[in-house]
Structure formats: C-alpha cells, structure tokens
Structure 1
C-alpha cells in the first residue's frame, strides 16, 4: 500500500476513533467528509446499506451534488466502508440514481 493511502487510512481511522463530530474538516466552514455534511451522509445511508436499500431521497441527492467525488473515490475499495455497513458498489451508483455525472475513480 502506498504511503499516501496509508496516511489517508490512518487519518480517517483516527478521526473516527475520536468520534463522529470530529469528521468535520478543520477548515471551519462546517463541511463534512468530502464536502458532504453529516446530515447529508445520514440522508444517503439508507440507500447504501442493508439488505433492501431504498432509492436515494431528495436530501441525499442534494447533498451528493456538493460532494467531492475524487475525495470519495479514495474510499471506494476501503474495508472501512464495510465496517460501517456501507456497500461501496451501491455508494458508487448513487450519482447516476440522482441523475448526476458518474465519478471516474
């Protein structure tokens, strides 16, 4: 694993171990992980987890429209997503389900 990927993984694990509130970026503009707010991430959770995921809600799609997809691509093949019950395949399908451009990871 490359040094950059290790650094990203360690940083994310550290942030998650401190608590969900610390996922907010330190830049002070109240943006969450990859420019998705905590509320936006919660709005999308039912669409990317569980046995019967639901179609994304309008609030999920709205939050996704502000997302930094290159940032999110870092987590595409991460076991960390599975740990939180997020199906990465479903997560990568969200943009097209929200009628948005599919990210190129």
Structure 2
C-alpha cells in the first residue's frame, strides 16, 4: 500500500471512530471538526435512519464535501444515505457521490 493510501486509510479510521465516539478528540478536517460529523451519524446509520437535524445540516453546509470524498468512500456508510442527507439539507452532492 502506498504512502498516500496508508495516510487516507488512517484518516478514514480516525474519522469513522470520531463519528462513533461521543468524547473523541476533535480534528479539523475539510472545514469541519471530526466530532461535528457525528451530528449526522443517526441520519446515515441503521435501516431506517431519521431525517437529519438542523445541527447535521449546518455541518453538511459548512464542510468541504469535495475534500471529504476520499473519507466518505472509505467510511463504510451507504452512499445513498449520504445523498439523502445532503438532499434533505439542500446541499449538492460532491463529485464522488454524483
């Protein structure tokens, strides 16, 4: 595995862990803090996730979604759920989800 792929994999694991852990240390990533991403976790997990709340939509609007593309594809989250959240928040899909 190349150095860039290893770096992306490590960051993706940190991002995924941050989304799952309430008290995880926050890291700035793509115009947002990794802990803020967990505000969208309920809307992208489970079989029938609830619609995103205002806090999640604020994160979706402020994050650099193009920058997050490599992490979204490695997160294990169903892309259709991410698209649904973005649509509900009135945010366009980044190129990796189009």
Q: TM-score, normalised by structure 2?
A: 0.69
In the other structure, the counterpart of 1:57 is 53
Matched, 1:8 2:12: no
The CA deviation at 1:12 is: 4.4
SS of 1:52 mapped into structure 2? coil
Shift of the alpha carbon at 1:20?
A: 2.6
When you count strand as a share of all residues, which structure comes out higher? 2
Q: Extract unaligned runs of 5+ from structure 1.
A: 26-32
C-alpha separation between the residues in 1 aligned to 2:14 and 2:52?
A: 29
- Residues 1-105 of structure 1 aligned to structure 2 (within 5 Å): 3-13=3-13, 20-21=24-25, 23-25=26-28, 33-38=29-34, 40-78=36-74, 81-82=75-76, 86-105=77-96
Q: Describe the superposition over 1:6-57 as per-residue Cα deviations: whole angstroms up to 9, x where unpaired.
A: 22213444785xx830x413xxxxxxx3222355322211100012201111
Gaps of 5+ in 2: 18-22
Q: 1:7 to 1:37 in 2, by over 3 A?
A: closer
What's the offset of the Cα at 1:66?
0.7
Structure 1 length normalisation: TM-score? 0.65
> Which of the pair has more CA radius of gyration?
1
Question: 1:36–1:66: 8 Å Cα contact kept in structure 2?
Answer: yes
Task: Work out the CA distance in 1 between the residues paired with 2:14 and 2:45.
Answer: 23
**Number of paired residues?**
91
Distance 1:102 1:7, change over 3 A: same
